[in-house]
Amino acid sequence: MDLKKLPLFDLMARRMSWLAQRQEVLAQNIANANTPDYTPQDLKPMSFGEEMKRLAPVDPERTSELHMAGTVVRKPTPFRSVDQRKRYEVAPDGNSVVVEEQMVKVAETQMDYQLVTNLYRKHVDMIKTAIGRS
């Protein structure tokens, strides 16, 4: 069974990939903490809503003639831009990396990665239990 074909596992795999890439970007920021005129970078946040829009829509199914037909309203949501926080700390050489801020982001990314890894493992265990392999 290929778990990537299940939408939930595909979403978790994409989240783990995004977190790994973010960790690389944050490590690059910390490595350049003393580089003149370096501006820290970050990845665009991964939106759960946008990821859910990538999945195929599920329409309500009537299981009896007596049931009312359901409707699914698909309204596009407007794009919202995320304002970048202004840098309040810039070194005399033009570097705006705040190591403490980057370390907090690294810790958050690590915790999120561990969370997704645990969710992935728990769902695999649940599937194994459902098919009789424990």
Q: In this predicted model, what pLDDT tens digit does every residue of 72-119 receive, in sequence order?
A: 555 554 444 344 456 667 777 778 888 999 999 999 999 999 999 999
The count of domains in the chain is 1
Structural domain contains residue 25: yes
pLDDT in the model for residue 84: 46
22 by Cβ neighbours in 10 Å (0-12 / 13-18 / 19+) ranks as buried
For 129, the domain range is 1-33+96-134
What was the pLDDT predicted at 60? 67
Q: What is the model's pLDDT at position 46?
A: 78
Answer for the pair 49, 77: CB distance below 8 angstroms, yes or no: yes
Say if 124 falls within a structural domain: yes
Q: Does the pLDDT at position 121 exceed 90?
A: yes
Mean of per-residue pLDDT scores for the chain: 80
Residue 23 domain-assigned (yes or no)? yes
pLDDT band at 67 (very low <50, low <70, confident <90, very high): confident
Look at residue 105 and tell me if it is in a domain: yes
Could you tell me the sign of the dihedral formed by the alpha carbons of 121, 127, 130, 131, in that order?
negative
Looking at residues 58-73, what average pLDDT do you find?
70
Q: In the predicted model, is pLDDT for residue 25 greater than 80?
A: yes
Structure-derived torsion over alpha carbons of residues 49, 17, 85, 83, reported in degrees to the nearest 10? -30
